[in-house]
Structure 1
């Protein structure tokens, strides 16, 4: 089934690559932003795109749509104290809705060769649709109806809970995803600290009333932004003119308190394992701030020895036992009002203390020996990572929609000016801040040899 397949693919396997690649904009704020009759704002990217992945590998003109709703997991605790609702909508969003059953909706999309998926982040729920332009007018009504007029029928909710539990189980099997999730909880507690997964109790407690209440509060026209590539403007306007249950302007943008980074530690111990994943981080800046860009450059410079390394050299120099799959790398993640910079270490449990101490020693050494060449490598590695992240039209559309919705998009000239202004002194300060500033830490696995946060020698 289409939704189930993409729900699983949108899980935790890309956690490391997403963390390492900055969310900073290479795409400027577009001037062609329109507002539909309902209040949904949209950005139409006009470039012509062909794709070979649809319709039996025949080249076709492809339309990419990303609709982002400011309804991610960080908003749940302010709504009903029932965490898990955003993740539930990922699984249940295409159930029977006004005018269509799930079989008709998904069957039609699959018949027309569409690609459809849902991603839930800490700030957004992102609905992604890619189809041949000739089918755009036939397919989009299924998506808009599912988003604006859901029913969450009881006879469908029960069987679909199995998929929600399966998604959460698969998430729990990725030690890196679990560790990063715990790190967010340690560093932010509520809001950005809300989990990206659901417990069985949360799944079992779901009912149509809870889902509809969250949906009605969050899915208002003023809380959604649409970006498209190769989509006719008149069709976008017509399909979204009645989006949302209220009149245009009847609901205000959802607002939340600014996230504050705190210093704390969470250990998820399992002594049956012989390995452990450690995440340690300090605060960083929000999306497209200079601090976030500096930290992203540093994260790309310090990729260590890992499967996603794109740097030219291992500057961490940890004595990793590669035969046991040990690796270490820096990461940076940013949100509309906060961020984190830090390191992930995956190793045998007995090596944990040695690797953490060596990490600190390596950073002290780099802080002293940093040169202009390091700045050049950091900038080029960062750019390579961002270009790779935005290499497809669908990725660019999603990126544009997310940043416009969150109010963090900046023009390319401004972005380039910030990037080019980063100096050796900026990178040295970023390293020094990690060594000396308050940090949060999470570890998952056999934590018996992991030093406690206050024991780490900086």
Structure 2
């Protein structure tokens, strides 16, 4: 079936612009961020970075936390189904037209959001933009095409690493339902998510009040016109509460290593100060060596665990959702000597302390990471999209970095204390020497 889309671009977002002097590869090093909330509550945000590469992303607050018992795995199927036939274009037409102009279209999802992002040169974006609209808003989910996704879904499940599965299990222990839903479809649901289930899920979550359209390297007024033309149902749908509850889950998979995640309640994305304090806490606890090929780490977590003859790996984790968050640590230890390592990590979260030096190091590392990510167009557009759809008030990396400077040691210590009040533990791998949570003191 050939595409029935018009050959005339829906929107000329990228008029040719020339400059008398050379710009950095990434464009404007201090880009302006503009945001507008339309009458239907859809948020439009653009990063005017003068980049040669343009990116447009349509983000919906439709992550796996919105799944019910009947629709578990729907977002995994949606993510995999991006590019299938739509109301006005066949699968072949979408793939051919996007690849023909040298653009790329990706679908990503997490527990809060699912995003469809088009990336390419300005002229390529102009030509491929109608197909982004089709993929993100005009799905039909033909049963015979969904049936062909089964092998891909099985591959995604089979290639999950143990650290990813451990963090997934941690969310289940901490939130049980809602945010506790996995990012991956359950094995027993493969091939059983019907077209009607997906259509209902999209109809209830792909709403204007749960959507943000963000772009970089595009004109704000043009993107606003494009967003206004999207055919989305109005409304914000029903909120899906998912309070932090805490708990413990274990999955003994054997092998030579044990992976253990220990975390407590973090900060919501809507509270910028608390969210930044948790982000600083993550860096202060330690996210691994910051020198390539180095095995030495000067972080709180590494010092607390100390030297182990068998070796170990550790990193702090921090995630922020619209109404809550998780902050904690993930350790990988040889199965035969996991007990002492897990106990040390637990002690850090339960009764650890933060020094001014730790906070300064954490703040410097966080600001560096924010500004480095801002130079990566794909990461920048993703971060702005998440902020826009969750808070309605996106901020640039420079603004966030300035906010980091206002974080004090007391703020970081308060974040650690809050997390330590009620911890969750998830363990996976060879658990022969991993203590249960009630055995940790």
Measure, in 1, the Cα distance between the counterparts of 2:392 and 2:138: 29
Deviations 1:400-427 (A, max 9, x none): 2221111163656975665333323333
- SS of 2:55's equivalent in the other structure is strand
Structure 2 match to 1:278: 260
How far apart are 1:362 and its partner, in Å? 5.9
Alpha-carbon spacing, 1:34–1:137, altered in 2? closer, same or farther (3 Å): farther
Structure 1 match to 2:237: 254
TM alignment of 1:70-81, pairs within 5 A: 70-77=61-68, 81=70
List runs of 5+ in structure 2 lacking aligned partners: 1-29
Q: Does 2:340 align with 1:358?
A: no
How far apart are 1:306 and its partner, in Å? 5.4
- Aligned mate of 1:391, from 375, 386, 393: 375
Alpha-carbon spacing, 1:373–1:92, altered in 2? closer, same or farther (3 Å): same
TM alignment of 1:58-457, pairs within 5 A: 61-77=52-68, 81-171=70-160, 174-233=161-220, 235-237=222-224, 239-244=226-231, 246=233, 251-270=234-253, 272-287=254-269, 288-303=271-286, 305=288, 313-316=298-301, 317=303, 318-319=305-306, 326-360=312-346, 367=353, 370-407=354-391, 409=393, 415=400, 418-435=403-420, 437-457=421-441
Deviations 1:303-324 (A, max 9, x none): 2645899997233322455876
Structure 1, 252-261 or 337-346: larger mean CA deviation = 252-261
- SS of 1:204's equivalent in the other structure is coil
Q: Does 2:51 align with 1:44?
A: no
8 Å CA contact 1:175–1:444 kept in 2: the answer is yes
8 Å CA contact 1:63–1:133 kept in 2: the answer is yes
Q: How does the TM-score come out when normalised to structure 2?
A: 0.83
How far apart are 1:337 and its partner, in Å? 0.7
- SS of 2:159's equivalent in the other structure is helix
Measure, in 1, the Cα distance between the counterparts of 2:184 and 2:419: 29
How far apart are 1:350 and its partner, in Å? 1.6
- SS of 2:282's equivalent in the other structure is helix
- SS of 2:230's equivalent in the other structure is coil
8 Å CA contact 1:303–1:314 kept in 2: the answer is yes
Deviations 1:166-203 (A, max 9, x none): 112222xx001000000001101111111000123212
8 Å CA contact 2:384–2:394 kept in 1: the answer is no
How far apart are 1:428 and its partner, in Å? 3.5
How far apart are 1:452 and its partner, in Å? 0.9
Measure, in 2, the Cα distance between the counterparts of 1:292 and 1:136: 34
8 Å CA contact 1:298–1:427 kept in 2: the answer is yes
Alpha-carbon spacing, 1:364–1:190, altered in 2? closer, same or farther (3 Å): closer
Measure, in 2, the Cα distance between the counterparts of 1:303 and 1:169: 30
Alpha-carbon spacing, 1:163–1:362, altered in 2? closer, same or farther (3 Å): closer
Measure, in 1, the Cα distance between the counterparts of 2:359 and 2:218: 40
Measure, in 2, the Cα distance between the counterparts of 1:30 and 1:320: 46
The root-mean-square deviation of aligned C-alpha atoms, in Å, is 2.9
- SS of 2:433's equivalent in the other structure is coil
Measure, in 2, the Cα distance between the counterparts of 1:428 and 1:97: 51
Measure, in 2, the Cα distance between the counterparts of 1:76 and 1:430: 30
Structure 1, 230-239 or 95-104: larger mean CA deviation = 230-239
Deviations 1:68-122 (A, max 9, x none): 0111000112xx6321111110111311112211111011111211122111110
Measure, in 2, the Cα distance between the counterparts of 1:188 and 1:158: 31
- SS of 1:340's equivalent in the other structure is strand
Measure, in 2, the Cα distance between the counterparts of 1:433 and 1:43: 33
8 Å CA contact 2:117–2:132 kept in 1: the answer is no
List runs of 5+ in structure 1 lacking aligned partners: 1-26, 50-60
Measure, in 2, the Cα distance between the counterparts of 1:223 and 1:358: 42
Measure, in 2, the Cα distance between the counterparts of 1:295 and 1:40: 29
Deviations 1:382-416 (A, max 9, x none): 21222233332232222222211111636569756
- How many residue pairs get aligned? The number is 406
